[in-house]
Amino acid sequence: MRLEAGKPIKASKQILGGEKPLVCIPLVGKTREAIISEANNVPVIAPDIIELRIDAWNFIEDVPRSIDMIGEVHKIVGDTPIILTCRGDWEGGFKKVDDGAKFAVYAGAVELAYVDFIDAELKYGGEKLGELLETLRGTKTSLIVSFHDFKATPPKEELFSIMEKEIQVGAHVAKLAAMPQREEDVLGVLEATLAIRRKYPDVPIISMSMGPLGAVTRLVGGVFGSDLTFAVGSKASAPGQIPVAELRKCFGVVYP
């Protein structure tokens, strides 16, 4: 038995925070043709959930076109839940995207019920994240508040503090990813995840240590409280992601 979330989130037929961590693949195509191609491949790969990385799109600041594109993907993937992410270039995003366009696309996709989760960085602070929560009020879309460090891993006490701040600003899901420089960094992510799950047992968590050294967290993170892991679909969106088929084989052993 793993430590499940006390208040898991149901998205279509999937449960974030349930008996097993969900397997998510990123869609990172840049053009309409590439995005449609990746979306058409989703039923073949059969992930539990997908992340639509719209910061990769070469037309992302065209708000109406981007919202329409999200609608097309939503129609293609059917019951597969969607995390909508426009990652800031200062935190691992593909390129710089105007915040006005980013949040306008978010609002449009939420209003039309195209997505199940939106991801916003903790760096935006309580006021902006509060505005997002107001946008989500009364909808079925949940807010993931996230933090990423692609260069290093803060001490485990700081990792705990980061996730705690995410929860305190109203995150429905707290997310953290960091790059390890040594084995102790990997253990720090797992320890911080476990501590957060125990102090805030109701809140679903997504956590991982990145790169080859941190890949083990993508396999066993769920034992310590992480409720989702990212895998490679067509292309990886972060270092250390494992192909879906291989990940599922490992999950069959870790989460029988």
Positions at the binding site: 51-53, 87, 218, 237, 241
| Torsion over CA: 168, 6, 184, 179 (sign) | negative
Q: What is the largest CA-CA distance in the chain?
A: 46
For strands 9-11 and 14-16, give the pairing: antiparallel
Phi-psi region of 211 (alpha: psi -120 to 50; beta: other; left: phi over 0): left
Q: Which residues contact 232 (CB under 8 A, 6 or more apart)?
A: 25, 241, 242, 243, 244
175 is catalytic: yes
Positions at the binding site for 3-dehydroquinate = 51-53, 87, 218, 237, 241
Is 148 considered catalytic here? yes
Residue 223 φ/ψ, nearest 5 degrees: -65, -30
Q: What is the rounded CA–CA span in Å between residue 49 and residue 14?
A: 8
Per the residue annotation, which of 102, 148, 156, 172 is the catalytic one? 148
Looking at 175, 199, 235, 249, which residue is catalytic? 175
Look-up of token digits 């990145």: 210
Q: Is 196 exposed, middle or buried (CB count within 10 Å of its CB: 0-12, 13-18, 19+)?
A: buried
Determine the residue type at 26: P
Strand partners for 121: 146
Q: Are 225 and 205 in contact (CB under 8 A)?
A: yes
Instruction: Decide: residue 187, CB within 10 A, 0-12 exposed, 13-18 middle, 19+ buried.
Output: middle
Q: Which residues are tagged catalytic?
A: 148, 175
